Amino acid sequence: MSERIDRVAVVTGAARGLGQEFALALVAHGYAVAGLDVADQDETARRAGTDRFVPLTADVTDPDAVNAAIGKAAARFGGLHIVVNNAGVYPPIPFEDTTPEDWRRIMRLNLEGPFLVTRAALPHLRAAGWGRIVNIVSAVVFLGPPELVAYTASKAGLVGLTRALASEVGVDGITVNAIAPGLTRTATAAGSTGADGGFARVRALQAIPVTETPADLVSTLLYVCDEGSGFLTGQTINVDGGSARH
């Protein structure tokens, strides 16, 4: 049996890191949330402590799995209004060591995944006459750091998707924006940078010399999802402690 909720969100990559914190923040502010991930979301569900969070297993690069999960989310809560495309991969690889398989894997998860999720969700947002699409990109699109060429290209592509899609769906009462974090302390980032070397290097570039955490991004997410943010669209909001000043 479905349950009608005023605002329903889908958050990809909700098992851990940024996605987990985003899902929990939305639940805490009264949204119903469906988490999409290939990993176990038991910890997210436990922390949410409410049936307004529903974990759904889906590979965001699999069109059939995405369509099924989005359909389940909309049926469970009686609609869909917000999409947070957060799932992604962050592999530092020197450009000449990047294989075609590496390139395709990064592009599929970081760029094609948001395309598939958004495409599946868009009819539900249009039917509601209101929507927020939020793409999680990265401050690397402004900085172009070494060993992240494929990752930077994938996130730059997502910025382009954000801008173009905003033009297409604004007439439907739907906004599309991107949030660009700096290097944020998550288990994934820590495993990629090794010890504290990466975080220390980035802190030295920032105006605010403190390592970013997922909690530092929550207020921006809530802002772009808010009812009052209907005139904000096609934008990339940089939240990186001032390492990229543009």
Q: Are 2 and 75 in contact (CB under 8 A)?
A: yes
151 is catalytic: yes
Per DSSP, 109 falls in state: I
**Which residues on neighbouring strands pair with residue 11, listed in sequence order?**
35, 84
State the catalytic residue, choosing from 31, 90, 151, 223: 151
| The two structure tokens encoding residue 16 | 């851990």
**57 by DSSP, 3-state: which?**
strand
- Report how far residue 215's alpha carbon sits from residue 229's, in angstroms, rounded to the nearest whole number: 20
- Report how far residue 120's alpha carbon sits from residue 108's, in angstroms, rounded to the nearest whole number: 16
Q: Are 114 and 158 in contact (CB under 8 A)?
A: yes
| The two structure tokens encoding residue 187 | 């288990």
Q: Are 177 and 188 in contact (CB under 8 A)?
A: no
Q: Where are the alpha helices (DSSP H) in 87-233?
A: 100-107, 113-128, 140-143, 149-169, 187-193, 197-205, 215-225
- Report how far residue 124's alpha carbon sits from residue 174's, in angstroms, rounded to the nearest whole number: 11
- Report how far residue 211's alpha carbon sits from residue 203's, in angstroms, rounded to the nearest whole number: 6
Q: Can you tell me which residue has the tokens 């402690």?
A: 241
Active-site positions? 151
